[in-house]
Structure 1
Amino acid sequence: MPGSPAPAPADPAAVPDSARAHALGRGPWWTLWWVRVLAVYLAGRVVTTVILLSFAAGEGVNAWTSASPDYFTFANIWDGRWYQFVASGGYPASLPTSDGIHVTENAWAFLPGYPGLVDAVMFLTRLEWPVAAVLVSLLAGAGAALVFHRLLRRVGLGASASLFAVVLFSFSPVSPLFQVAYAESLYLLLLAVALLLLVERRYGWLFPVVLAMAFTRPSGLAFALALGMHVVYRWVRRRDDPFPVRERVLSVSLTVFSGVAGLAWPVIAAIGTGSFTAYTDTELAWRAPYIGFTHLVPFSPWFQGADWWASAMLGIPGWVGIVVLVVLIALFGILLFSPAVRRLGVDVRFWIAAYSLYLLAVFFPQSSTFRLLMPLFPLLGAIALPRSRVYRVGMVLLFIALQVGWVAVCWTIDGYDWSPP
């Protein structure tokens, strides 16, 4: 009533803990965002472990393992063994060749960031390589899931969509890479941090992250392109969104730095071997079984691949494969402007466009394509937007089924296996 004295505040000691927590916007520990993200990620790893162990039990004797290998042995085949070679023996001073001319597969294709970190973990923990490598991948994947969630919340996605995007991330068809001896987990962690810093315009903190990314997976040139688009966008919109001189200098310097970092490893390989084209020749060796030894002509590999897959594998005219590729590229371009993808924000879309363009320029499509698409993981935020329970359950079941298919086709070894992950 008017004129009545205000009621005295309740004694804090008399208010239940749950009520105080609710008033402060907090809840029980199991409702904290990071607990939920880690729980989802661990659930994904349990499912993947069951899948990998099931396939390991049926694995026969092969070039990498004995029959029915244990988990850690099975998780350290393919590129995992190359990373182990790098950690134990470094890089060759001369490039191996098949005929004195054409370079064959060798360690220069594998950047030192991941094996260097695993080597440090081995030194600190005294763990053997197979266990240390899996541990690094597992923890880095958990970190990537946490930062991915924060990135999606930062660009404005709701709590439900952000958490479900982490579910899709954790159960994705290539999520076994989060617990094997591959560099992808570490790279995705660094990339998620880099995208979050870019969205928040914390350019100074990006320098060490960009450098670490460039020595973990080939990425510097793609990220430089994304940064360049970011700088141009901010310059065009500087009247509506101020672009102070300090941020201009930092962002432009960062763009140049990322480009230089992207070229650093090819230069190091050239110095280490005495061959100016050591790195590109090494990378080209992996596509030689498909189309023979060729030179790197930007933007030609996907068209070469479309022709090869159509004619050599499907027995149809190569031009059909090229037409299908052109249609897929056009549809992907349209996708970037769809309302769902626009929800991710302009900076995330810059990265998606830049990395896609980078893949189109240099990568030859084959069984590793699914792994090479992992840096496009922010698109899972768009896929996670529908709130239908049927849709979400169906997507998880589909991803698990595709995960089984990926392990069956790409990870397991059947004699001479030409479908590496």
Structure 2
Amino acid sequence: MTSRASRALPPVALRVAIVYVIARLITTGFFLVAAALSGPDSRFGADATLGSLSMGWDSQWYWLVGTTGYPSTLPLDDAGNVTQNTWAFMPVYPVLTRALSVVLGGSYPLAAVLLALIAGYVSCLVLFHLLRERIDDTSALWAVVLFTAGPLGALFQMGYAETLFLTLLFLALWALVRRRFVWLYALIPVMGYTRPGILAFALLLGLYGIYRWWRRRIDPLPTREIVHIVALGLLATAVGFSWQLIAGIVTGDPSAYMDTELSWRQSWTGDRESGFVPFSGFIHAAAIWFRLWGLPEALGYVALFVAVVAAAAVLLFSRHVRRLGPEVRLWSASYLIYLLAVFFPQSSIFRLLMPLAPLSGAVALPKSTVWRVSMLLLGLVAQAWWIYQMLALGNTYTQIP
């Protein structure tokens, strides 16, 4: 039965909208300060504006995809190595942005930011509904607050595909929690061509199938659900590898996508000969980063091991994380394994952790106003620092969002 107090509250969509608008106004203030602090050595120059910051870094790559598409001939350096190009960026976001720009008088930047803003609001709304399946409404709303006003709040109003991907991801997780498997047949392909990461969802489906099979005596697993889980896992896997096939067909180079992705990593390592080896990125980066910080490389390996063990311990044993349900916990584990397997950690690692946003529900669960406000203030401070480092400064290879 709905309580009188619950009936007195504004609708969920309005409550989330109020939180979202306030968060975006705060972020806009941070952007304006960053533009004022941007100097001649910054990537954006001394005349940086709100618009130029919103369309910085990878926004430019998406803009290039939206206006020129993908190259049929890969760009090469003097040594014949593939250089950075648009094949590293999936098409759904720039295509939708290009379509929206037609309505907005041909302005791609305006359409890019507007689409990111709209998708960001929808992602917050879906996150609320996803989390309220397991936790109370107040905690779910606080989780949205921590998410939208958190360290990566700038990405809600930049020309990146992140918010669109998160909307699709949260919808997919919500469908999985509610066992509406049919919706996933539509969500998986769109999600897979929006941003890399669908292979993590394939791993999630595999682990979810094992989990359901293990608990089949407590939680019956009908044959139709087995068929859906297996079929969806195969679909996610196929979509995950299909972009490599498409890039290979268009360019005539089977390794086009992998070489393109490695071009970003090789700018760090300087190694143009070695190919992709799963899980090697974090190991190499641990040594590189600790060397940059003037610390022993061996300490980097120890830190990496401790971080992996700590993350596993949180997902396995944290009381608040367990409250979020198996789907969120399995997704978080799957995505972290995926990152460990394919990513070379650099300053953009913070952005790549955004798909772990459902864990904000665990941070919001302690029913202490002091705790929740403290986490909100910490997130805002971290957001201001991120914007200052990546946008106001943004002048070294360690300041790439």
1:97 maps onto 2:76 in alignment: yes
State which of 102, 111, 127 in structure 1 corresponds to 2:90. 111
User: For 1:256 and 1:246, how far apart are their aligned partners in 2?
Assistant: 15
User: For 1:185 and 1:410, how far apart are their aligned partners in 2?
Assistant: 18
Alignment: residue pair count: 397
Per-residue Cα deviation, 1:58-79 (whole angstroms, up to 9, x for no partner) = 3235796563333222210111
1:51 maps onto 2:30 in alignment: yes
**How much identity, in percent, do the aligned residues show?**
44
- 1:190 match: 168
Shift of 1:84: 0.6
Shift of 1:413: 4.2
User: For 2:371 and 2:336, how far apart are their aligned partners in 1?
Assistant: 27
- 1:341 match: 321
1:221 maps onto 2:199 in alignment: yes
User: For 1:24 and 1:68, how far apart are their aligned partners in 2?
Assistant: 50
Range with bigger deviation, 373-382 or 411-420: 411-420
What runs of 5+ residues in structure 2 fail to find an aligned partner?
none
Range with bigger deviation, 386-395 or 186-195: 386-395
- Contact residue 58 and residue 68 of structure 1 kept, 8 A: no
Q: What amino acid does structure 1 have at the position aligned with 2:334?
A: A
What runs of 5+ residues in structure 1 fail to find an aligned partner?
1-20
Partner SS state of residue 412, structure 1: helix
User: For 1:376 and 1:395, how far apart are their aligned partners in 2?
Assistant: 16
Per-residue Cα deviation, 1:278-329 (whole angstroms, up to 9, x for no partner) = 1111111112222113421101110100011112x12222111001110110
State which of 67, 76, 96 in structure 1 corresponds to 2:46. 67
Q: What amino acid does structure 2 have at the position aligned with 1:27?
A: A
1:40 maps onto 2:19 in alignment: yes
Partner SS state of residue 357, structure 1: helix
Q: What amino acid does structure 2 have at the position aligned with 1:223?
A: F
Structure whose alpha-carbon radius of gyration is higher: 1
Q: Which protein has greater RCO, CA pairs closer than 8 Å, 6+ apart?
A: 2
- Contact residue 410 and residue 420 of structure 1 kept, 8 A: yes
User: For 1:164 and 1:415, how far apart are their aligned partners in 2?
Assistant: 35
- Contact residue 42 and residue 392 of structure 2 kept, 8 A: no
1:353 maps onto 2:333 in alignment: yes
Change (3 A) 1:405 1:66: closer
- Contact residue 103 and residue 285 of structure 1 kept, 8 A: yes
State which of 354, 360, 369 in structure 2 corresponds to 1:380. 360
Partner SS state of residue 60, structure 1: coil
State which of 44, 60, 80 in structure 1 corresponds to 2:59. 80
- 2:289 match: 309
Per-residue Cα deviation, 1:201-231 (whole angstroms, up to 9, x for no partner) = 1111111111111001112211000001111
Shift of 1:252: 0.9
State which of 370, 374, 379 in structure 2 corresponds to 1:399. 379
State which of 142, 164, 167 in structure 2 corresponds to 1:164. 142
Change (3 A) 1:394 1:57: same
Partner SS state of residue 132, structure 2: helix
Shift of 1:157: 0.4
- Contact residue 346 and residue 398 of structure 2 kept, 8 A: no
TM-score between the two structures when normalised by the length of structure 1: 0.91
- 1:300 match: 280
- 1:230 match: 208
